[in-house]
């Protein structure tokens, strides 16, 4: 049967640009997602979205998380035929009024070619970037003619293999352990690393649009800004620097005087700077001395979380635009100094001060709240943050195998006083260091640091998850080529990422740590790769021991800071019932429970941990017995 394609026309109406500097038009609704190879077409798609969620919501596949569907649906991510298409019309006069029109796509996941009216305008290869094509006016049709925007995706699984095959030497680990049932060489792509499976999650190599898509109509100019707030000097909480980076886009490249005004209206603060522009796109750095009386932002349990609205107004040619962000005034210091014994063999301290007060960190590691990012609602995030606060937590570590979180995540962290240990998205692997990869990483870090640096909740930037340990202690059998991988490690985390972080967010704002775990200054003294990154006398530590009796405090390690640890438990039956069908599945060692366990011997380890202190249930009612097993795994984990 011939597949028919129907064009959905989106009629757009925007405000007249006469008298306005710029205007924005969202293209988040009425997409068509199709695949010629599978004879699939889904209309009326809203983004953010990805193919698994779209197909499930339209009734074309079962819930991807049900039973063994992670295996049954693998074909979806292996196909090169997925296209997201948007058709729209523009009013001729409104288009004519704009001197320039740009297109923005925020987070394309991941390998895609983007076409506007059949013209290729961009190839994407990094999920963690916002893509902005600055002048597309000449490609657009007006007079009520139809415009077509298409995003054509390539299989991330195939692209990862291709990148690995063409790289001059191996980039380990080539594949995850078999128990994870995952795909290979995710480290070759700038994509959510856990999307190819992890020891806690399934293999769903997502394909889709993870953020908004919109047009910007520029009559005169448009701008955006990033800002950090930090003490002028260490320990000085009366004098601050407001560190702004203003990016201005204009339709023409002529000399032009502008005024940039910064306001915090709640405390009647205003600062103004007169600047000159010469380029179409220009960045201006503005450092503002600030010494007004303010209330500090504090972590949960140490004080209030006072936030201020900071406005930036740009005036040019009698027109003005205003943008704003919420900021908080707080200082952060990572203290690494000799212990009270003053003996070098006792190592260094490793703790944080916020507003010159020692902070005892209490929290959790944060992995993506859903396998499919588009399913995470604001209410769900709010509930999780409320739970964290009520549990007396004051920190979450955004783990480096997931994503840089959504804006609402950091807004909630600000509101609830939850500090954020922010990893960059590299985890448990070696990574390429060819020029193209490093250039992409540099853009990624610049974008993400500038997007996030105004949030007072962010405590620290960390270069990666466990890669110092992986490389220096030879997880991957690379001893014969260790100098090559040591050099790659330094090139990525020290020579590429670190300078970008410190350029846009200096150490007085928050520190940069090369890895987690790391010996901190101890690793730096060993050229950034410590012989023992798990030294209890330095830095932070990750700790797992599934054989010890975790109820006995004598077994606990005593590191300077424990940034990752834990044992497993099963989720409650209310969650598992969405994925399990029959009573046959309801046992810690059933085929389905074993299938969903991605950590080697993980279910038996949970049983052994319970038996250290309790008796396993043996009820003849299978469902009741499973409920008791679940409860005991949770009790053991909570204890």
DSSP H stretches of helix in 131-206: 156-166
Which tokens in the block code for residue 70?
Answer: 């992670």
Placement of tokens 């709010």 in the chain: 382
Placement of tokens 């963690």 in the chain: 128
**Whole-angstrom Cα distance, residue 510 to residue 234?**
11
**Whole-angstrom Cα distance, residue 633 to residue 424?**
32
Q: Is residue 492 helix, strand or coil? A: helix
Q: Give me the helix-helix angle, 407-416 and 378-390, nearest 10°.
A: 30
Terminal alpha carbon distance of the chain: 60
Cis peptide before 110 (omega within 30 of 0): yes
Residues 6+ away with beta carbon under 8 Å from 534: 469, 517, 541, 542
Question: What's 465's DSSP letter?
Answer: B
**Whole-angstrom Cα distance, residue 620 to residue 587?**
12
Placement of tokens 């980039």 in the chain: 171
Phi-psi region of 132 (alpha: psi -120 to 50; beta: other; left: phi over 0): beta
Which tokens in the block code for residue 462?
Answer: 């960390």
Given a contact cutoff of 8 angstroms between Cβ atoms, the answer to whether 90 and 141 are in contact is: yes
Q: State the pairing for strand pair 269-277/256-264.
A: antiparallel
Residues 6+ away with beta carbon under 8 Å from 507: none
List the Cα angle 320/28/190 in 5-degree steps. Answer: 95
DSSP H stretches of helix in 553-621: 573-576, 591-595, 602-611
Cis peptide before 221 (omega within 30 of 0): no
Q: Is residue 62 helix, strand or coil? A: coil
Q: CB-hemisphere CA count at 13 Å for 544?
A: 9
Catalytic residues: 466, 564
Q: State the pairing for strand pair 82-89/9-11.
A: parallel
Report the run of H or E that residue 213 belongs to, with start and end: strand 213-218
Which tokens in the block code for residue 169?
Answer: 């030497």
Which tokens in the block code for residue 402?
Answer: 């997931």
**Whole-angstrom Cα distance, residue 127 to residue 210?**
8
């Amino acid at each position: 049967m011939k597949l028919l394609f129907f064009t959905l026309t989106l009629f757009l109406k925007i405000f007249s640009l006469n008298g306005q500097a710029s205007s924005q038009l969202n293209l988040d609704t009425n997409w068509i997602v199709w695949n010629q190879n599978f004879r699939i077409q889904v209309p009326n798609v809203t983004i953010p979205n990805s193919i698994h969620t779209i197909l499930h919501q339209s009734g074309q596949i079962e819930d991807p998380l049900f039973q063994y569907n992670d295996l049954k649906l693998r074909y979806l991510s292996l196909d090169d035929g997925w296209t997201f298409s948007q058709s729209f019309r523009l009013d001729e006069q409104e288009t004519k009024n704009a001197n320039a029109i740009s297109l923005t796509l925020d987070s394309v996941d991941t390998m895609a070619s983007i076409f506007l009216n059949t013209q290729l305008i961009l190839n994407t290869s990094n999920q963690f970037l916002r893509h902005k094509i600055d002048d597309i006016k000449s490609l657009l049709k007006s007079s009520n003619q139809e415009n077509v925007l298409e995003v054509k995706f390539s299989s991330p699984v195939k692209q990862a293999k291709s990148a690995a095959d063409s790289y001059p030497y191996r980039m380990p680990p080539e594949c995850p352990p078999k128990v994870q049932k995952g795909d290979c060489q995710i480290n070759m792509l700038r994509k959510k690393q856990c999307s190819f499976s992890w020891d806690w999650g399934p293999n769903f190599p997502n394909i889709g649009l993870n953020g908004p898509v919109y047009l910007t109509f520029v009559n005169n100019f448009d701008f955006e800004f990033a800002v950090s707030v930090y003490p002028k000097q260490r320990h000085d909480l009366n004098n601050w620097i407001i560190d702004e980076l203003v990016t201005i886009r204009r339709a023409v490249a002529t000399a032009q005087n502008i005024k940039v005004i910064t306001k915090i209206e709640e405390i009647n603060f205003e600062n103004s700077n007169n600047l000159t522009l010469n380029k179409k796109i220009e960045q201006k750095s503005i450092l503002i001395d600030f010494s007004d009386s303010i209330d500090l932002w504090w972590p949960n349990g140490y004080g209030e979380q006072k936030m201020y609205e900071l406005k930036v107004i740009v005036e040019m040619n009698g027109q003005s635009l205003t943008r704003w962000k919420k900021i908080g005034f707080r200082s952060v210091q990572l203290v690494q100094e000799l212990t009270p014994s003053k003996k070098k063999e006792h190592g260094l301290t490793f703790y944080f001060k916020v507003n010159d007060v020692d902070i005892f960190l209490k929290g959790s590691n944060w992995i993506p709240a859903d396998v499919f990012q588009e399913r995470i609602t604001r209410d769900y995030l709010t509930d999780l943050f409320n739970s964290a606060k009520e549990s007396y937590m004051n920190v979450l570590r955004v783990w480096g195998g997931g994503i840089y979180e959504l804006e609402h995540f950091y807004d909630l962290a600000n509101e609830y006083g939850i500090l954020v240990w922010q990893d960059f998205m590299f985890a448990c692997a070696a990574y390429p260091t060819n020029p193209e990869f490093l250039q992409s990483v540099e853009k990624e870090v610049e974008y993400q640091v500038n997007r996030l640096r105004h949030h007072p909740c962010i405590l620290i930037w960390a270069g990666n998850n466990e890669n110092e340990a992986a490389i220096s202690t030879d997880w991957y059998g690379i001893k014969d080529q260790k100098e090559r991988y040591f050099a790659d490690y330094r090139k990525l985390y020290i020579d590429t990422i670190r300078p970008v972080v410190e350029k846009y967010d200096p150490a007085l704002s928050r520190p940069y740590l090369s890895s987690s775990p790391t010996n901190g200054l101890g690793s730096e003294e060993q050229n950034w790769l410590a012989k023992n990154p798990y030294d209890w006398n330095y830095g932070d530590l990750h700790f797992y021991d599934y054989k010890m009796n975790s109820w006995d405090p004598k077994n606990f390690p005593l590191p300077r800071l424990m940034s990752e640890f834990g044992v497993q438990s099963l989720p409650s039956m209310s969650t598992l019932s969405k994925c399990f069908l029959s009573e046959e599945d309801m046992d810690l060692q059933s085929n389905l429970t074993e299938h969903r366990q991605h950590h080697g011997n993980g279910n038996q380890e949970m049983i052994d941990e319970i038996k250290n202190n309790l008796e396993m249930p043996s009820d003849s009612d299978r469902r009741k017995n499973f409920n008791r097993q679940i409860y005991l795994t949770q009790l053991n984990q909570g204890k």
